Amino acid sequence: MTSKYRQRDESLYTEPPINEEYANNPHILSWWTDTHDLVILTRIKRYRWLWHKGIADRSVSDDLLDITPDATINHWRDTDPLCRGRTIKSVLTDFARARARDAGLISHLKSAGWTTCRLCGESFIEDSLPLPLIRRISINRIVFCSPCLTDIYFNDVSVRGTHDISHEDTLSYVQELAATLGYVPPRDFGTTPEDTASLTT
């Protein structure tokens, strides 16, 4: 079996079905506002298919709870039967997924598409990148496939001539270089004058 870090054509984020009934939960709708919808919409635009998951150390439930008064949350938790035996974050995430569809917010989602890796030239589907890799790059700028990013982030990332620097330093070097070049440099970057020519302009 191929590791999920070593493949380019399998979507890794198949979702459990949404229970549309959750969108009608009166215990949440009683305090729900346009601002809560805006939180969902913002995350859909920013994080695409990961909008309801934990990314950048925040989940959609974190963002929704942040803008809701404590007294409101406490009252909801104490009166909603769904909150018995489940965390409020889990109940709220289910509601948000149903709400995104019910209110039409999900139409703003830009689905994962096929693109070509700028490093190896192979085509890959954007959501074939495992979450730990997406967390290291911008989800709106997926230009490298999972095998290439895995080599850079998790395997031998030594850059020629800098074997004495730490793994962490190497990573930040690659990240800085990628930001300057607009792509992740190949492992032998810097060994020919052409490599650095573009850096000076």
**In this complex, which beta carbon is closest to Zn ion, that of residue 82 or of residue 147?**
147
Nearest distance in Å: CB 157, Zn ion: 15
Q: Does 139 bind Zn ion (CB under 5 A)?
A: no
**In this complex, which beta carbon is closest to Zn ion, that of residue 120 or of residue 178?**
120
The C-alpha atoms of residue 118 and residue 143 are separated, in whole angstroms, by: 6
Task: Tell me which H or E stretch contains 178.
Answer: helix 167-181
Nearest distance in Å: CB 195, Zn ion: 18
Do 199 and 181 form a contact (C-beta atoms < 8 A)? yes
Structure tokens belonging to residue 197? 């020519």
The C-alpha atoms of residue 74 and residue 97 are separated, in whole angstroms, by: 22
Nearest distance in Å: CB 145, Zn ion: 3
The C-alpha atoms of residue 43 and residue 123 are separated, in whole angstroms, by: 27
Count interface residues toward Zn ion (CB under 5 A): 5
Q: Which of 96, 100, 119, 129 lies at the binding interface for Zn ion (CB under 5 A)?
A: 119
x/- map, 79-118, Zn ion, by CB under 5 A: --------------------------------------x-
**Length, in residues, of the chain:** 201
**In this complex, which beta carbon is closest to Zn ion, that of residue 8 or of residue 48?**
8
Map the footprint of Zn ion across residues 148-167, applying CB under 5 A.
Answer: 148
Do 111 and 49 form a contact (C-beta atoms < 8 A)? yes
The C-alpha atoms of residue 94 and residue 15 are separated, in whole angstroms, by: 12
Question: Alpha helices, DSSP H only, in 115-160?
Answer: 131-134, 146-153
Nearest distance in Å: CB 183, Zn ion: 11
Q: Does 28 bind Zn ion (CB under 5 A)?
A: no
Do 13 and 50 form a contact (C-beta atoms < 8 A)? yes
**In this complex, which beta carbon is closest to Zn ion, that of residue 82 or of residue 148?**
148
Do 55 and 43 form a contact (C-beta atoms < 8 A)? no
**In this complex, which beta carbon is closest to Zn ion, that of residue 83 or of residue 157?**
157
**In this complex, which beta carbon is closest to Zn ion, that of residue 105 or of residue 148?**
148
Q: Does 145 bind Zn ion (CB under 5 A)?
A: yes
Write out the residues near Zn ion by the rule CB under 5 A.
Answer: 117, 119-120, 145, 148
